[in-house]
Structure 1
Amino acid sequence: MKVIENQTFDMERALYGCNGIAVRNCSFDGPADGESAFKEGEQIEVSDCFFNLRYPFWHDRGLTITDSEMTQGCRAALWYCDQVVIADTKLHGIKALRECSNVLIRNCDIISPEFGWSVRGIRMEDTTAVSEYFMMRSEDLTFRGVHFTGKYSFQYIKNAVFENCVFDTKDAFWHGENITVRDSVVKGEYLAWYSDGLTLLNCRIVGTQPLCYCKNLKLVDCEMVGTDLAFEKSEVEAVLTTKVDSIKNPRSGRICAPELGELIMDDEKAKGQVIIAGREKHHCKMCSCA
């Protein structure tokens, strides 16, 4: 493997089409303002590098990036790449990951709007992320120990597992399919509307109007905090460990909780059962429960 180290590159396509190179302690920055430094390369190892130019990694295969920094000026850093490992790296440019496959991200700092669109097969571990429209339309996700802050996350995703994560986000999991969230905190408004096949296990759910218009929704031993108008028009099986502020018109299934602020059943199509401390609530219009 050819080693390139301690250099600065600012020209267009500086290392275009390279195969089998290790790039160490290099800077991709400068007045020439060149784009696409590593485009269409294979078997590339990058470590301790600085990126302040656009589109450095497009159409690359067999790519490892460690201990590096991508600034806000490093827009759209990784697109159309396969077999990627990114570790101990800052990704701070917009649209940093898109249309990639077989990606491992570990111990990274992500600040990137529109991160992770249409990615297939991504593992993310022990990472913090700030974004909007995070991971939209991606498939086959496995997240562990991820702390996310932002809006409109995980929309239209398919086949995902999240464990020991903290998500402070609005409109998460909209239209998502086949998702499992375990031992995690999910905070934000309008959680998982229109999802199909969402399972939450031992989770803490915080925020208004969660889990509406869902199909095949399941909650097991979950806490719900500040969750009013929950489960509207949803097909749901739920066992909850805390009080729910209000439940509105569950379409079908059964919800078990130790306490309920208000049950609203004013839709004749709402047939879901709500059981409080072993006692079933009647399907009555605007039934208020102390």
Structure 2
Amino acid sequence: MKEILNEHFSGERALFQCNGLKISGTVFGEGESPLKHNAYIELTDCTFDAKYPVWYSEKVKLSGCTVRESGSEGIWYSSEINVSDTVIESEKCFRHSNGISMKNVEFTNGNETLWKCANVRMDNVKVIGDYFAMDCDGMEITGLQLEGNNAFDGIKNATLRRVNINGRDCFWNSENVVIYDSVIKGMYFGWNSRNITLVNCTVESLQGMCFMENLVLKNCKLPNTTLAFEYSNNISADIKGGIDSVKNPAGGLIMAESIGELIMENENVDVSRTKIICG
């Protein structure tokens, strides 16, 4: 591979269609699209100020890099992207990309990041930002810390472990999601989703877990949770501790140590389809 060391590039398409490069200590300054239509690129300790840093590229590795706020719309329409020990300060990074691996990555302004991507692996990632990870298919996530609203809207086929999410409206319109050993705080968890399983999780929500199909909770806690399970069907919930209130579940089994208020309205649901066990 050709090596580039401690260089400074600016302008448009600085390394357009260049393949087989090992780039270290280099700054991609003011401009656009420094790496476009590239393949087999390794970047170490590089800084991106340029807009659209990596587009239409494949087999790209970033280690110890920084993408500045000006480097927005960072990695789009690309495949086989490996990012480690990197700080991304710009929004709208990762769109329409396949085969993304991230480890020890921090998104300081992760608004509208990771949209419509497939085969995503994340390990020890920190995110601040709204609308993170929308319409992604095939995700393996471990050790995520996320502060932001409307995360994981419309995702499919995902497994999450040891995640901590603080923000409203996460996991809406999602399908085939399993979450282990996690803490999720916010309003309106999981609306309009199907085939969702939580194991050893803690969820705090207002009107959480409503309008869902095939919802499983195993050994979970629901503190500060009100008006839960409205119009959700095929529920199998094993709750440790109490639930502040439950409203009009459409069917299934809910087991909890206590339910502060149980609202079952015959005119809105067939109450015979839900079994409630307390104590």
**TM bucket normalised to smaller:** over 0.9
Aligned length: 274
Q: Secondary structure at the match of 2:11?
A: coil
1:273 aligns with 2:275: yes
Measure how far apart 1:268 and its partner are. Answer: 3.6
Measure how far apart 1:272 and its partner are. Answer: 1.5
**Superposition misfits of 4+ residues, deviation over 2 angstroms:** 267-271
1:95 corresponds to:
92
Q: Distance between the aligned counterparts of 1:144 and 1:184, measured in 2?
A: 10
Partner of residue 141 from structure 1, selected from 136, 139, 142: 139
2:7 corresponds to:
7
Instruction: Report the RMSD for the aligned CA atoms in angstroms.
Output: 0.8
Q: Deviations over 1:246-280 (max 9, x none)?
A: 00011000000011101000134343111102xxx
1:259 corresponds to:
258
1:186 aligns with 2:184: yes
1:15-54 equivalence runs, <5 A: 15-29=15-29, 33-54=30-51
Q: TM-score, normalised by structure 1?
A: 0.93
| CA contact 1:85–1:104 (8 Å) conserved in 2 | yes
Letter in 1 for 2:61: T
Q: Distance between the aligned counterparts of 2:93 and 2:165, measured in 1?
A: 20
Q: Distance between the aligned counterparts of 2:274 and 2:17, measured in 1?
A: 59
1:148-167 equivalence runs, <5 A: 148-167=146-165
Measure how far apart 1:105 and its partner are. Answer: 0.5
| CA contact 1:12–1:35 (8 Å) conserved in 2 | yes
2:243 corresponds to:
244
Q: Distance between the aligned counterparts of 1:91 and 1:48, measured in 2?
A: 13
Letter in 1 for 2:270: K
2:73 corresponds to:
76
Q: Unaligned 5+ residue runs, structure 2?
A: none
Q: Distance between the aligned counterparts of 2:179 and 2:194, measured in 1?
A: 13
Q: Distance between the aligned counterparts of 2:9 and 2:110, measured in 1?
A: 24
Q: Secondary structure at the match of 1:88?
A: strand
2:204 corresponds to:
206
Q: Secondary structure at the match of 1:97?
A: coil
Identity %: 33
| CA contact 1:212–1:233 (8 Å) conserved in 2 | yes
Measure how far apart 1:166 and its partner are. Answer: 0.4
Q: Secondary structure at the match of 2:184?
A: strand
Q: Deviations over 1:106-141 (max 9, x none)?
A: 001112210000000000101101121111001101
| CA contact 1:134–1:153 (8 Å) conserved in 2 | yes
Q: Distance between the aligned counterparts of 1:112 and 1:14, measured in 2?
A: 26
Measure how far apart 1:156 and its partner are. Answer: 0.5
Q: Distance between the aligned counterparts of 1:15 and 1:87, measured in 2?
A: 22
| CA contact 2:250–2:269 (8 Å) conserved in 1 | no
Q: Distance between the aligned counterparts of 2:88 and 2:61, measured in 1?
A: 14
2:195 corresponds to:
197
Q: Distance between the aligned counterparts of 1:169 and 1:219, measured in 2?
A: 20
Letter in 2 for 1:264: I
1:172 corresponds to:
170
Q: Distance between the aligned counterparts of 1:143 and 1:54, measured in 2?
A: 28
Partner of residue 59 from structure 2, selected from 56, 59, 62: 62
Q: Deviations over 1:170-205 (max 9, x none)?
A: 111101000000000011000000100000000000
1:222-233 equivalence runs, <5 A: 222-233=220-231
| CA contact 1:208–1:229 (8 Å) conserved in 2 | yes
Q: Distance between the aligned counterparts of 1:159 and 1:89, measured in 2?
A: 26
Q: Deviations over 1:12-66 (max 9, x none)?
A: 100011110011000111xxx3200010000000010111110010011000000
Q: Distance between the aligned counterparts of 2:269 and 2:186, measured in 1?
A: 29
Q: Distance between the aligned counterparts of 2:236 and 2:18, measured in 1?
A: 54
Q: Distance between the aligned counterparts of 2:26 and 2:191, measured in 1?
A: 46
Partner of residue 104 from structure 1, selected from 101, 106, 118: 101
Letter in 1 for 2:8: T
Q: TM-score, normalised by structure 2?
A: 0.97
1:283 corresponds to:
none
| CA contact 1:249–1:272 (8 Å) conserved in 2 | no
| CA contact 2:231–2:269 (8 Å) conserved in 1 | no
